[in-house]
Amino acid sequence: MEHSGVALWRRIKNTLSQEIDQGDIKPDQRLPSSQALAARFGVNRHTVLKAVSALQEEGKVRIERGRGTYAVANRLDYNIGPNQLFEQNLAAHNLAPSRTVLSVAECHAPSRAADALKLSKGSQVLLVTTLGEAEGLPVNYGIHYIAGSRLPGIAQLFRSFEGKTCQVFTFPELFEKCGINEYHRKDVVIRSRRPTNDEARYLNIPAVEHVLTTRVLSVGPKEIPLTYAETAFAGSRVSFRVSF
């Protein structure tokens, strides 16, 4: 190998780095396998591994054993605040938001939902599932338990959206039509876990990827609980931010 003053694996690293920056390899796109790269650069596979490993140190790629290495996408930085809405967060990134109501139904509230909403055990609540998207890419899948008894007529409103894709609506907007002119988050709990089958399907992520979940209790006037939602976000596509 020719003498050039800079180590071979460093040159390979720089080449790949440029290709990512220039968009030859797009965010979330898979890089060629180490074997393919070794063939392309005419070097041993170890040399490629070293270059790619260094790229991961810099945060430019994400290596997944058995799957491949991927150019890292810019995460959607999702602000957590009492009045931050899904749509506001997307608009801040110049992304077109859309929200689809997947289903509307009545059900008995699970105990944790009933507790959060301060309803007696097994009360009837409205169950709404939604899919949030940014530029067509699925971002979150939410199950909302809504205290219908405190929001007269809300079921009808949600049913009018059911199944229609790409509708833009916000919860406060809908609730205003039920006479609720205040609505904000009270409590947010964030966890990480493997996706359920539904979540993996709707979010279009492999089962081995993880989801970030939020459990959000939102309240209306006089701190009356109105909705309790469990929402799953594709773990590799978002980050949550809390500012003080």
* Shorter beta-carbon distance to a copy of itself: residue 26 or 65: 65
47-79 CB burial, b ≥16 within 10 A, e <16: bbbbbbebbeeeebbbeeeeeebbbbeeebebe
**Residue 108 touching a copy of itself (CB under 8 A):** no
Residues forming the site for DNA (CB under 7 A): 1, 3, 7-10, 31, 33-36, 42-47, 49-50, 52-53, 63-69, 197, 206-208
Closest to 222 in 3D by CA, of 124, 118, 144, 127: 118
Q: Residue for token digits 């979010």?
A: 203
**Residue 236 touching a copy of itself (CB under 8 A):** yes
* Shorter beta-carbon distance to DNA: residue 32 or 172: 32
The alpha carbon dihedral of 49, 54, 55, 59 has a sign of positive
Closest to 76 in 3D by CA, of 67, 87, 68: 87
* Shorter beta-carbon distance to DNA: residue 67 or 177: 67
Beta carbons of 101 and 164 less than 8 angstroms apart: yes
**Residue 192 touching a copy of itself (CB under 8 A):** yes
Q: Which of 44, 187, 198, 221 binds a copy of itself (CB under 8 A)?
A: 187
**162 phi and psi angles, rounded to 5 deg:** -55, 130
Beta carbons of 183 and 226 less than 8 angstroms apart: yes
Q: Which of 109, 116, 127, 212 binds a copy of itself (CB under 8 A)?
A: 212
**What's the min distance (Å) between Cβ of 128 and DNA?**
23
**Residue 189 touching a copy of itself (CB under 8 A):** yes
Binding site for a copy of itself (CB under 8 A): 62, 64-65, 75, 77, 80-82, 184-194, 207-208, 210-212, 235-236, 238-244
